[in-house]
Amino acid sequence: MCRRFTFSFFCLPHYVQKSPRTGLNSALLLQKRHLGLLPPSSYSRLIHELKVSGMQRHRLEVQSSNSTSPNTDNFHLIVADSACERVFTVNDVSHGGCKYGIMNFHGCRKGSLSVEMCDNLYFTNRKVNSVCWASVTHTDSHVLLCLVGISQTPGCVSLLPASLFSNFNPDQPGMLCSFKISTAWSCAWCLNPQADKTFSTGLSRRVIVTDAVTGRRATYLADSDVLAQQFALRAPVLFNGCRSGEIFSIDLRQRDRGRMGFHGWKTSRFYQESAITSVQLLQDENYLLAADMLGKIKLWDIRVKRCVKQYEGHHNEYAYLPIHINEPEGLLLAVGQDCYTRLWSLQDSRLLRTIPSPHPAGKDSIPNVVFSPQLGGSRGLPGLLMAVRHDLYYYSYNKDYQDGFTQEGQC
């Protein structure tokens, strides 16, 4: 079932900690660039830094077209597809379990966003440990979910067609699969053609790599629970972060693991001081960012297994919190257990901005965020989408953003 929602935008008073460089303004930067005093790369980085310090908050008030009651289901997870046109959502519902949906974003020439929310109320919705987009029939055609077991029913991993949450082709939802993989902490989808249609799941003391079409599996033993995963793009190599603080990689091209010993298949291996909650490769896949439960975010040079940069200020003690990278803008983002969203410069690790949660801090008020220079695709708008409790907010990365009521036909 697909339900349409309209989103109204209201500019709210907000109190945001900023840390702009002294004297930083666009006119001065442009003048220095014209005089040849500022290299193009430095100009671009500083302009992005200036935009971050000037982001404005807008509340997105959700109203159903067939109901006057407001949305009261708290957001549990939001994950954007590769083009940031769609955001998959998991909401906790009052009677237990979860509700899944997809928000479709469309940028408008008038400088505002058009948003459509679709959910499927007929799908059996269970608690979710981890989720990622999957390219089965085409790019981001499916969503991969690690579902928690309930009562006598064990957990599993499901591939849901994104078309389940759309008005298009309702009679042809696509391939829907369920895999008997219980209690998975993390998952990742491989986009390298050498391991086409392959996904991984991180479990207690092991990793399972599965061919989504044939169901064939390979199991790799680990010393600890595998809480975070990401595949490289240039090679079929899987990076894993563990509860023990270990980060290790698996090269799927190494088939003969039996003669290598317990750790022989680990192509790279290094450690942080606490449980790893997120791993993210940069475009230069010699570098990997990792966050842990001590609030440390470190940039590693995988070739020499050495930390080359650290990003200070993140707060975490026990939560499974992701980090987000946007290399075109030169930004690193992370939401802390203290409910503050922090943005750093990727290049010099400087903390650029600290944004408090619009709601009082608490375990159920830790925001989920998505940042994109093109929220809504190629014609989209730059900015930060924040979901906290049952509310949505948009932090505009563009000073020309227009508040106001947005309808689908106005774009």
Three-state DSSP at 285 gives coil
pLDDT in tens, 140-169: 999 999 998 877 788 899 999 998 887 555
CB 59 within 8 A of CB 391: yes
Whether 302 and 288 have beta carbons less than 8 Å apart is answered as yes
CA 275, CA 290: separation in Å to the nearest integer?
10
Q: Looking at beta carbons, which pairs linking 347-353 to residues 24 or more positions away fall under 8 Å?
A: 347/45, 349/299, 349/309, 349/310, 349/311, 349/312, 350/19, 351/19, 351/311, 351/312, 351/313, 352/19, 352/20, 352/49, 352/52, 352/53, 353/16, 353/17, 353/18, 353/19, 353/52, 353/53, 353/55
Please report the pLDDT score of residue 168 as a whole number: 54
Distance CA 391, CA 147 (A): 24
What is the layout of strands, in order, in the sheet containing 198-203? 186-189, 198-203, 206-211, 217-221
Segment 127-150 mean pLDDT: 94
Measure the CA–CA gap between 188 and 42, rounded to whole angstroms: 34
pLDDT digits (tens, 9 = 90+) for 348-377: 999 999 999 999 998 888 999 999 988 888
How far from each other are the two terminal CA atoms of the chain, in whole angstroms?
Answer: 25
CA–CA distance, 194 with 199 (Å, rounded to integer) = 12
Residue 334 confidence (pLDDT): 98
Neighbour tally for 405: CB within 10 Å: 10
Q: What is the pLDDT of residues 11-33, one digit of tens each?
A: 444 444 554 555 566 666 666 66
Beta 206-211 vs 217-221: how paired, if at all?
Answer: antiparallel
Collapsed DSSP state (helix, strand, coil) of residue 165: helix
DSSP category for residue 162: G
Q: Are the beta carbons of 270 and 287 closer than 8 angstroms?
A: no
Give the HSE-up count for residue 121: Cα atoms under 13 Å, Cβ half-sphere.
5
Check pLDDT > 90 for residue 248: yes
> What is the pLDDT, as a whole number, of residue 169?
54
Is the pLDDT at 272 greater than 70, yes or no? Answer: yes
> Does residue 316 contact residue 308 with C-beta atoms inside 8 Å?
no
What does pTM read for this prediction? 0.86
- pLDDT tens per residue across span 64-123: 444 445 567 899 999 999 999 999 999 988 777 888 999 888 766 566 777 778 877 666
18: which strand partners? 353
pLDDT confidence tier of residue 258, bands split at 50, 70 and 90: very low
